[in-house]
Amino acid sequence: MDLATLSGFVGGAFIFGALAIPIVHCVFAHRRAVVTSRVTRTHVVFGFSAAAMAIVHTIAAIPELGSSAVIRAGMIALVPACIAFFLLFAHVGVGLRLRHPTLKKRPKVRRLHVILALSIVTTVTVHVVALLVSS
């Protein structure tokens, strides 16, 4: 397994973990996590780790752009990957805004955070499926 594939799997695991942490907390605690809680800090660590793995994955994938699998997948795989990359960093920026306990318009910013998260999961899924179908 090459570094591009491995970093993609690890990045996907961090995305899944970052997504699952607040959902699992909400299901069991019946409320959202407090901004300063350990749950929120863990979510942030997983989110930053996902962003770091996105950078590693992108750098590792550049030499693979000439491989037959990537050429077969073409723009159908590359475009959602690029979109997911930029969405991930927008998501991190919005998430950093949510870290401020005195944030005004918190529900609006939180809604944007969730929309970006769902968009990331969708574009990453399209990217992976396009690569799998072309292989």
pLDDT digit string (tens) for the chain, length 135 residues: 789 999 999 999 999 999 999 999 999 999 999 988 999 999 999 999 999 999 999 999 888 787 776 777 778 889 999 999 999 999 999 999 999 989 999 999 999 999 999 999 999 999 999 988 887
pTM, to two decimals: 0.89
| Chain center to CA of 2 | 21
Please give the Cα distance from 5 to 95 (Å, whole number).
27
Q: Residue 12's pLDDT is what?
A: 95
Angle of helix 75-98 relative to helix 106-134, nearest 10 degrees, comes to 160
Looking at residue 117, what is its pLDDT? 96
Place of tokens 């594939």: 5
**Continuous H helices in 30-74:** 38-61, 68-73
pLDDT, residue 1, reads: 76
What is the signed CA dihedral for 129, 131, 132, 134, rounded to 10 degrees?
A: 120
| Measured CA distances, 47 to 74, 89, 131 (Å) | 28, 10, 24
CA dist., res. 117 & res. 65, Å (int): 26
